[in-house]
Amino acid sequence: MRFTFCCLLTLSFVFVMGQETPKTDTIISSKAAILIGQKVIVRAKVATTYFGPKLIGQPNYLNLDKPFPDNPMVVIIYNNDLKKLKLNLSDYKGKTIVVKGKMEEIDYEYGKKPCIKIMNKEQIAILK
């Protein structure tokens, strides 16, 4: 009986420790590059914004902490999503925001840059 209890306790511990826990800590934008592929929450100031009307999907860029190309990461909201979500790009410039999502990597002509793509309002908030 004691042996069975110890085995069950050990198996339970291994099972719980083996579960992947979601990343919920808020990070700064300079840590983005090491978290590609992970779900993250990022807190940063929007340094500049840019609308790419001639680019595929007409992306809107929120460059975090520094102007492009020195920004450590970028938030992308495609124009269709911006309209659907009734977001205004100019509301974000100079504001500190929190964004949630999967950290991806986007290719620029200058190299690669970490990014989060916004597809719903719950992914982005302006801090007061």
Secondary structure of 29-84 in the HEC alphabet? HHHHHHHCCCEEEEEEEEEEEEECCCCCCCEEEEEECCCCCCCCEEEEEEHHHHHH
| Sequence spans of domains, the chain | 22-126
Using one digit for the tens of pLDDT, what is the confidence trace for 88-100?
Answer: 999 999 999 999 9
Q: Which CATH superfamily is domain 22-126 in?
A: Nucleic acid-binding proteins (2.40.50.140)
Model confidence at 2, pLDDT cuts 50, 70, 90, reads low
pTM: 0.80
